[in-house]
Amino acid sequence: MFYRESGDFKTSYAADQQTFPIRFDRWAIGLVCAFAFLVMPFLINDYWEKSVLLPFLVWAMAALGLNILTGYCGQVSLGTGGFMAVGAYASYKLTTSFPELNLFIVILLSGGVTATVGILFGLPSLRIKGFYLAVATLAAQFFLVWLFNKVPWFYNYSASGMITAPERTMLGIAISGPNSPPWATYLFCLVIVVFFAVIAKNLTRGRIGRSWMAIRDMDIAAEIIGVAPLKAKLSAFAISSFYIGVSGAMFFMVYLGAAEPTEAFGIDKSFLVLFMIIIGGLGSIFGSFVGAAFMTLMPVLFKNIMVGGLGWPTDLVSHIIFMLIGGLIMFFLIVEPHGLAQLWRVTKEKLRLWPFPH
C-alpha cells in the first residue's frame, strides 16, 4: 500500500519522536539513499556529474546552512555568497599550505574558519532584526568579496588573481583537480551532504533547534522561558556559516576547480540560496533539498527539453528558461507561500486519511 499512518502505532516516546515516524517514509528514504550510494556511482558520467549532481549537492549544502539561520532561527542573511567565499579561500589556503592534509579535514576546517567569521558578522543580530539585519549581512557579502580581491595573500600572489584547486587524492583516487573521476567527486560530496543533513536534522529537533525556533517565533517569550538570545543567535550563525563554508569549499575544490571571487561568490549566489530555501520551505531540512533541486535542476531540464528535444537555438532557450523559472517561482509561492515542503506536508496529511475527508 502507499502512504498510510493508520495501523502504525507508537508504544514509546522514542518511537514517536524518531526522524521518520511513518513506516513508508523510512522505506522511501532508505531506497533513495541506497540508490544514491550504491547505484548512482556506476551510472554517473561527466555530464551528470558536472551539470546535475554536483551542483545539486553543493547548493543543497548551502541551502541547509542558510535554512538553519533563516528558516529555523529567523535571522535573514544576504551574506551567503561571502561566506561561501570564506570557505573556498580557507580550503585553498589550507590545502596549499599543508598539501598532505586529507581533503575531508581541509573541508571541515574551512567550515570551522567560516563559522568563526560567521559569528563575527552575526554580532549585529543581537541588536538589529529583520530587513535591517539583512542589510548588515549584505555588508559582509561585499566586504568579504572585496577582501579576497584586494589582499594577494589569499590567492597566493597569483598573477591572474584566481585560485586554482590543486589535485588532492584520497585512497589514491583524485578528488579535486582535472583528473578526478566523476564517481569519486560525487561520492565525496554525497557523503558530506548526507552526513551533515542528518546532523542538521538532529540539531533542529532537539533543545538547540527549539531555542532557535523560539527566537524566530517570539523572541520576547523565548527569553522569558529561559532561552539566552545571545547563545541562540550566535550558535545559529556559527553552525549555519559552518555549513555554508563547507559548501563553498566543495564548490571550489571539487566542482569549479578554479574561482575568482567576484564572479563565483557574488551577491547573486546569496539570492540564489535565499530563493532555494523560500521555495523549498523555510524551517525544513527536506525543503532545503527540494529548493536546491528546483533551482539547479529545473534549468537543466528545460534546456534539455528545448535544445535537445525541440532543437531551439541555445540563446533563445536561455532567455525562455529565465522567464519560465521566474513564472514557476511565482506560481508555487502563490499556491503555497510556505514552500514546496509545506505542499508535500499537506499532500501527506491528505494521503494519510484517504479516502476519508477527516
* Residue ranges that bind other proteins, judged by CB under 8 A: 12-14, 17, 199, 202-203, 205-208, 210-211, 213-214, 216-218, 220-229, 235, 283
CA–CA distance from 70 to each of 64, 99, 183, 186, 242 (Å)?
10, 36, 33, 28, 14
Choose between 200 and 259: whose C-beta lies nearer to other proteins.
200
Distance CA(74)–CA(212), nearest Å, equals 8
- Nearest-angstrom CA–CA distance, 61 and 63: 5
> Shortest distance, CB of residue 90 to other proteins, whole angstroms?
21
Q: Cell numbers of 324, please?
A: 519560465
Instruction: Give the DSSP letter string of 64-85.
Output: HHHIIIIIIT------HHHHHH
* Among the listed residues 195, 294, 243, 186, the one whose alpha carbon sits nearest the alpha carbon of residue 72: 243
The smaller minimum CB distance to other proteins, of residues 108 and 170, is found at 108
Indicate the residue among 114 and 270 with the shorter CB distance to other proteins: 114
* Side chain identity, residue 62: A
Residue 218 or 305: which CB sits closer to other proteins? 218
What minimum distance in Å lies between the beta carbon of 5 and other proteins? 11
Q: Output 14 or 159, the one with its CB closest to other proteins.
A: 14
Please state the closest distance from residue 321 (CB atom) to other proteins, in A. 34
- Closest contact distance (angstroms) between CB of 227 and other proteins is 6
- Identify the CA nearest to 250 among candidates 271, 232, 264: 264
Minimum gap (Å) between residue 219 Cβ and other proteins: 10
For the record, the C-alpha cell of 316 comes out as: 533563445
Cα–Cα distance, 256 to 49 (Å, whole number): 12
**Least distance from C-beta 23 to other proteins, angstroms?**
17
Cell 555568497 maps to which residue? 81
Q: Which is nearer to other proteins, 181 or 229 (CB)?
A: 229
